[in-house]
Structure 1
Amino acid sequence: MSKDPSTAPPLLVKATRILNAFEGQRSTLTLTDVVRHSGLSQTTVHRLMDQLVGVGWLEREGRKYRLGLRLLELGAFASHHNRLRRAALPQMIALHQETGHWVHLFVLDGPEVVCLEQIGDPRESIPPFQVGGRLPAHCTASGKVLLGFGGAGVEPHVAGEHAARTRRTITRVDSLRTELASVRDAGVAFDRGECFHDVTCVAAPLRGGGRALAAISVSRLAGYADLSRLAPRVTACTRRVWASMFGAGRRVESTPAEPVAADDSESLRSWLRFSEWG
């Protein structure tokens, strides 16, 4: 007698059962092992594991399966972001108290930056984006500093098409390359109304001698006369965050970022070795 389809677990639950089979010391399993630990039918397990292999969440070698690099990558980045936010938050609060402006923490995700945290006084002003929000990298201070110190891996995002957000947005690739060269020379980046016409920002990279892991920025409404004055304070903030994460021994330098491997798996392994969380 067949099971009532309405009582069958959802697809996502089935996939989770399969992935949970690899917990603890069970790092490598056969199809039969996964069937036993998941409680699912062999047909279901075989079909879903083929799909999980296809998206990189599992890897197959002969008759054995293990967690895939893509799944490990997602877990590593989640750990990275949580630790990064914890380390940055006290210094961001201090920077907000020092400047009176909104302070943001961004990471690069493809051609965009994602806001992980922001500190400010909503009674004074509210930025036009929220935590978890995405903005184009090419026209934000944080995005430009992450592209400038991103190594070879960000080149496709530099060379791609760039839409205009305001009349000040840099859209030409050659102009953006010139801007990023200036960012590397100065160690900071500016957004003078390039993403939002009434918002200006200055950002500094969170990095040692290599590529940037994140960026911290200060934003203010309209006017950019004091952005240069704010730049040293933002840079000092990133230095303190870096020291709290890795110790003062790895100082922040102004040399260009080291190349990032083009291959995703090697990039992840290099990043894990670099961050000492692998």
Structure 2
Amino acid sequence: MTAVDGLPTARASARRELPPSMVERVTLIMDLFEGRTARLTLEEVARCTSLPRSTAHRILDQLVRLCWLDHTALGYALGRRALGFGGGDGARTRVREAAAGRLHQLQIQTGLVVHLAVLDGAEVYYLDKAGGRFAEAVPSRVGGRAPAHSTALGKAMLAWLEPEEVEARAGEAIGRLTQRTICDVGTLHQELDRVRRRHGLAFERGECFPGIACVAAAVRGPDGPVAAISLVGGASAPLEKIAPLVVDAARQVSRELFPGGGTAAPASHRTTAEPEGAWSPQAMDRLLATGQYGDWQ
């Protein structure tokens, strides 16, 4: 391959005519991503492939929907499916290993069920679950899935994505599970704004399963959310009182996964990014006053 402005070109530079098939066009785009750290903007993809910008955007959007690529504030990168070729998912293993101690500590401190999950398209995928007797009453399992828009875990991660990506992931899949489930994209955006104003704290009471309540916070890295941690209890569980424990656990896991690195929010959310450092009880009271119980209605 040759290079243009430091970026690999697609095929030989002499080849100017557009490839006739969709498979060839997809291959042109995927060839640009030469490793898991590669980040390209839409303009860079269009320039290096000589595809029309609208065509490149349409293909990139489809590749993101199918998890071949991810889209963050820093550009497009290889997604779960591309990185999963040739072996197990090392990134998820790293997240689970980094969080294991914190999950155990949370469960001991609170006696509640603790979840660790990642965002997979329009769903959350449960990587780990810890809990006592109440765990049997919580209808989740390691390796299971739930709609992201109906869970505190999902909302905690969706809140740090661009609105367009939220709609691409959850727009077509959004639907009602209970009488309290968010069931339209506009209301979901309003709820995600409340999550950001609570500096990342997401709540849900009976939105996914009746009688179940959760509080969650995202584990965030330079490219955005990589996972989320939640505490789960009954509908009357005093989640507001223990919310700081979830925030602290998520922050500690972030620091272990990305030592010395900061967290990034999309450009449209940067003014609401959470501050570093511990929160005082007074600060928590002010944050939680923006939306008691996390109700979206």
Q: Shared topology, TM-score over 0.5? A: yes
8 Å CA contact 1:158, 1:177 repeated in 2:
no
Q: Bigger shift: 112-121 or 147-156?
A: 147-156
SS of residue in 1 equivalent to 2:149? helix
Q: Which amino acid aligns with 1:179?
A: E
1:133 maps onto 2:144 in alignment: yes
Q: Bigger shift: 87-96 or 75-84?
A: 75-84
Q: Which runs of 5+ in 1 are unaligned?
A: 1-51, 61-67, 260-278
SS of residue in 2 equivalent to 1:207? strand
Q: Which residue of the partner structure matches residue 118 of structure 1?
A: 129
1:172 maps onto 2:184 in alignment: yes
Q: Which residue of the partner structure matches residue 52 of structure 2?
A: none
Q: CA RMSD, aligned part only?
A: 3.4
Distance in 2 (alpha carbons) for counterparts of 1:217 and 1:81: 17
Q: Which residue of the partner structure matches residue 3 of structure 1?
A: none
Q: Which residue of the partner structure matches residue 211 of structure 2?
A: 198
1:23-65 alpha-carbon deviations (Å, 9 max, x no partner): xxxxxxxxxxxxxxxxxxxxxxxxxxxxx99997xx89xxxxx
Deviation at 1:166, TM superposition (A): 0.9
Q: Which residue of the partner structure matches residue 241 of structure 1?
A: 253
Distance in 1 (alpha carbons) for counterparts of 2:26 and 2:114: 36
Pick the structure with greater CA Rg: 1
1:162 maps onto 2:171 in alignment: no
1:153 maps onto 2:173 in alignment: no
8 Å CA contact 2:213, 2:233 repeated in 1:
yes
State the TM-score, normalizing by the size of structure 1: 0.63
Distance in 1 (alpha carbons) for counterparts of 2:169 and 2:82: 24
1:221-250 alpha-carbon deviations (Å, 9 max, x no partner): 2214x1111211100001111122222x33
Q: Which amino acid aligns with 2:235?
A: A
Of 83, 87, 99, which residue of structure 2 is paired with 1:73?
83
8 Å CA contact 1:211, 1:258 repeated in 2:
no
Q: Which amino acid aligns with 1:188?
A: L
1:94-145 alpha-carbon deviations (Å, 9 max, x no partner): 1111111111111111111100111111x34422010010100111001111
1:96 maps onto 2:107 in alignment: yes
1:182 maps onto 2:194 in alignment: yes
Check 1:155–1:172 CA distance in 2 against 1; reply closer, same or farther (3 A cut): closer
Q: Which residue of the partner structure matches residue 290 of structure 2?
A: none
Check 1:120–1:53 CA distance in 2 against 1; reply closer, same or farther (3 A cut): farther
1:191-219 alpha-carbon deviations (Å, 9 max, x no partner): 11100011100000101465211111110
Paired residues, number: 201
8 Å CA contact 1:149, 1:257 repeated in 2:
yes
8 Å CA contact 2:122, 2:173 repeated in 1:
no
Check 1:258–1:79 CA distance in 2 against 1; reply closer, same or farther (3 A cut): farther
Q: Which amino acid aligns with 1:257?
A: P
Identity of matched residues, %:
38
8 Å CA contact 2:106, 2:245 repeated in 1:
yes
1:257 maps onto 2:270 in alignment: no
1:105 maps onto 2:125 in alignment: no
8 Å CA contact 2:115, 2:129 repeated in 1:
yes
